Chains A and B, each alone.
Chain A
Amino acid sequence: MSTIITHPKVAKAWVFKDASMAKQKEMMNRHYGRLADAPQTGEKVASTFVPGNLNELLMCFGFAVNLPEINAIQNGLRKTSGNFVMEAEKIGHSEDVCTYVKSDIGMMARGNIGPNGRRLPDPDVLLLSCTGCFTFMKWFELLRERYRCETIMFHTPYMADGKIAPDMVKYMVKQLEKDVIPKLERVSGVKFDIDRLREYLKKSARAEDDLVWVLQSAKATPSPIDAYFGGIYYIGPIFGAFRGTDDAIEYYKFLREEIEGRLAQGKGPVTPGGDMGKERYRLVVEGPPNYTNFRQFWKMFYEEGAVVVASSYTKVGGTYDFGFRHNPDKPLESLAEYCLNVYTNRSLPMRVDMLENYIGEYEADGLLINSIKSCNSFSAGQLLIMREVERRTGKPAAFIETDLVDPRYFSPANVKNRLESYFQMIEQKRARARAAG
């Protein structure tokens, strides 16, 4: 696979990108173009959330899909989210609450200009897929107040007991049949065709197989991918508006071939600074990343030879680790199970088990938690997760604090300091192990 060197307009440094990243960029540009063109093309627009999104279902009605978290992330990466957050606070939103919400509301207050510099359309429907996060409910109630459009609640029960009970799936399927689908039909003017849904689900499963292969390639040493910073790119199409499309199948096939190539050559991940040097530390990371200083954050890892081999964030849209794939034979049940499997919809004990297993399966040196100030869904309980995983695995764990898209909560010196201390801790553990054995 070729590596393309692009010269971005904002950053001064050269930035290395895989061909797959360039391909994804083209997909995202097309996606935002479609959204911006919607008022002219007459396409209906649905806004919905990333975790447990029902992309295949929305495609059945021809909706162009707008994902507000992705907009917030794009604004974070482009360093515009800080002003949006402050704009929202200026108009009365608390400094304590989720910065995704405030970035979105601030962006709307300033004209709703998308990452491509064009105005994002008003949604025709808000599909409130309430999965793994209570804030979603408030977020779309806030948006409903502004857009005054049809708003559909789709409630996902919490996997508190560590399993999917039949009544959970039944509840969700009933919501789909009695509420979600009829409303989507009404807004779109398109009759629901379950065979069309089956076709999309079939495509989803194909892309999902390749994504899982890519994420699990990090079991190799050296890992050919970074499953956190790089992983964020990898999950983009599957958790976004592309799952169920040919684009997604092609993208993941292309990505897989790219990673197979790196694996065959014994190469590590591609970073913004080029091919990563010697792999020194293998980490499991829990929690979302910071987006306002994304490259700076990543650099703190790859400069030290630290690669993330598994992360919980790459399961934020849905968890495939345990074999789940969208299933065309059980279309509505499959959508329900996808939502139920979202990482933050899993109980704390399930999350601890997953992270513990990652450390073993991916032969990691330890667990790093990036605790996000404005995301209680992830953050509440992380200090216990850290203790518990450390206790069970005997591997060192560390804790850093940043925020998703509020630059005021990214303190580079503090983060770097903590990371350096953590790497020293790993070295000490290794030295002790060598001395003992």
Chain B
Amino acid sequence: MEDTSPSKTAEIAARCEEIFTDLDFNAARKWKAGKPGRKVIGFMPFYVPRELIHAAGALPLGILGGGDQLEVIHGDAYFQSYICRIPRSTVELGISGRLDFVDGMLFPSICDVIRNLSGMWKLMFPRVAARYVDLPQNFDGEVGGEFYRSGLQELRHWLADIASHPVTDEAIRASVAVYNKSRALIRELYALRAAEPWNVPSAEVYLLLRAGLVLPVEEHNELVRTYIDAARSRDRPFKDNSRVVVSGVFCEQPPLNLIKSIELSGCYIVGDDFMLVTRWEKSDTAEDGDPIAALASAYLHNSLSTSAKYEPDAARKGAYLIESVRKNRAEGVIFAMPSFCDPALLERPMLQNALKAAGIPFIAFKYAENSGQMQPIREQAGTFADSIKLWSGE
């Protein structure tokens, strides 16, 4: 019988942290070595259709920069001081050989920097297949949908070339089912955290999500299931913390200490935009019919909002954040955004206006993936938590 005792959560978190801190991606290397011919496909934030990679028999590997433990030596030589941190640490991972087992790299259309990095990768690592994933900004099924379906077909053939076998409709449908399960589990995890944040610390949720970008999805699904079951039997002391949504962390990652610092300062994180790819589709993607059409439709009509995606309806601008606040019964929003992140920082004033109109308090600060000083963050977040407790409802 599976162990779902409370101590199991700590054990799982420890395992996930081990995966998270391993910048050589040994878990993925081990998977690849497990069977001849296995392929690994790296991808950058914020979204790629992992189902296609999985259907090709390959392992989707999330590449989220180097964090605060990687010494960036070569990467800094490729980017000016005013470019964000994630491309330079990603280049560092590449040059230092840490990605030498990766057979292909995907760069989704999140911003100009990652877009240009796709071309840099082709020049710097010509032996590795690299592909830009151009996501439509038109959400009409006959317009953006047709374009995206065509893009997905091309991606499917690209993956088939790498895998040396066709990626069949049947395989894609099976992968959709596996990822539907994954997303359902993540949604369940998020719902549990919103209900009992004292039993589901966000640092653990974060680590669990990060592990999911390295491990095979089936293994990760089991891990999440076990964690949820164990967390449900947990009974940690409730603290009178303020409930917050963290916004802006969808690409370059905050240091783990930043997440811990927010929680230590008196906040429960009950909503966030960490690793959106793990729950991008808001409900199940169709498991029957044309799987390419199903993936395209899910992207167009049933996916989360983020600043890298155009909002056609002016009245809906910022609604996703307000909905997250309401759904998770949050009392405020912490904008934590990477320095020099154009999508996040340009979006912020609009989100702040929406929050002001809705009477939701917020604070904002910037970080880099290698930020070391957490004292200012703790002070800011702590003051914010206090101010919510003192002044909310007035």
Contacts and interface: CB of A to CB of B under 8 A. Distances in A.
Contacts of A190: none
A391 to B, nearest CB: 10
A221 interface: no
Interface string A133-155: 11101110110110010010101
B78 A383 contact: yes
A383 B138 contact: no
B118 to A, nearest CB: 6
A348 B113 contact: no
A344 B113 CA distance: 12
A42 interface: no
B112 A380 contact: yes
A384 interface: yes
B1 interface: no
B310 A179 contact: no
A138 B314 CA distance: 12
A376 B110 CA distance: 13
A171 B138 CA distance: 9
Contact of B346 (A101, A348, A382, A388): A101
Contacts of B80: 371, 373, 379, 382-383, 401
Interface stretch (B35-43, B336-344, B374-382): B336-344
A97 to B, nearest CB: 5
B79 interface: yes
Interface in A340-385: 344, 347-352, 371, 373-374, 376-377, 379-384
A206 to B, nearest CB: 32
A178 B112 CA distance: 27
Interface in A161-182: 161, 167-168, 170-171, 174-175, 178-179
Given A137-B310, A380-B112, A384-B123, A145 B78 contact: no
Nearest to A171: B147
A1 interface: no
A170 B138 CA distance: 13
Interface stretch (B159-167, B231-239, B257-265, B349-357): B349-357
A160 interface: yes
B343 A380 contact: no
Interface residues of B, number: 55
Contacts of A171: 136, 138, 143-144, 146-147
B134 interface: yes
B229 to A, nearest CB: 41
Interface stretch (A14-22, A61-69, A88-96, A113-121): A88-96
A381 B346 contact: no
A175 B113 contact: no
B134 A157 contact: yes
Given A96-B345, A175-B138, A348-B123, A376 B112 contact: yes
Contacts of A158: 109, 115, 132, 134
Contacts of A168: 147
A130 B137 CA distance: 9
B140 interface: yes
A377 B142 contact: no
* Interface residue SS majority, chain B: helix
Given A158-B115, A171-B136, A376-B112, A135 B87 contact: no
Interface in A384-403: 384, 388, 401
Of the listed residues A160, A348, A376, the one surrounded by the most CB atoms of chain B closer than 10 A to its CB is: A376
A101 B346 CA distance: 9
B142 A178 contact: yes
Of the listed residues A92, A96, A153, A344, the one surrounded by the most CB atoms of chain B closer than 10 A to its CB is: A96
A300 B6 CA distance: 69
A98 interface: yes
Interface in B119-151: 119-120, 122-124, 131-132, 134, 136-138, 140, 142-144, 146-147, 150-151
Interface string B274-315: 000000000000000000000000000000000110111010
A179 B340 CA distance: 33
Contacts of A352: 123
A142 B354 CA distance: 12
B348 interface: yes
A374 B82 CA distance: 8
B77 interface: yes
B311 A381 contact: no
A91 B124 CA distance: 41
A90 to B, nearest CB: 12
A380 B346 contact: no
Contacts of B117: 380-381
A384 B78 contact: yes
A184 B317 CA distance: 22
A133 B235 CA distance: 50
A145 B315 CA distance: 9
A345 to B, nearest CB: 10
A339 to B, nearest CB: 13
B26 interface: no
A160 B342 contact: no
B83 interface: yes
Contacts of A347: 118-119, 122, 132
Contact of B343 (A101, A134, A349, A351): A134
A381 B122 contact: no
A352 to B, nearest CB: 7
Contact of B119 (A93, A128, A160, A167): A160
Nearest to B82: A373
Contacts of B349: 91-93, 142
A110 to B, nearest CB: 17
A97 B342 contact: yes
B314 A167 contact: no
B87 A138 contact: no
B347 interface: yes
A157 B147 contact: yes
Contact of A153 (B137, B308, B346, B347): B137
B138 A138 contact: no
Contacts of B109: 134, 158
B307 A138 contact: yes
Given A138-B347, A155-B138, A383-B78, 15 more contacts: A92-B348, A96-B366, A97-B345, A135-B112, A137-B310, A153-B137, A158-B132, A168-B147, A171-B138, A171-B146, A175-B143, A348-B120, A373-B82, A380-B112, A380-B116
13 contacts: A96-B341, A134-B308, A138-B343, A141-B310, A158-B132, A179-B140, A344-B112, A348-B116, A349-B119, A373-B80, A381-B78, A381-B117, A383-B80
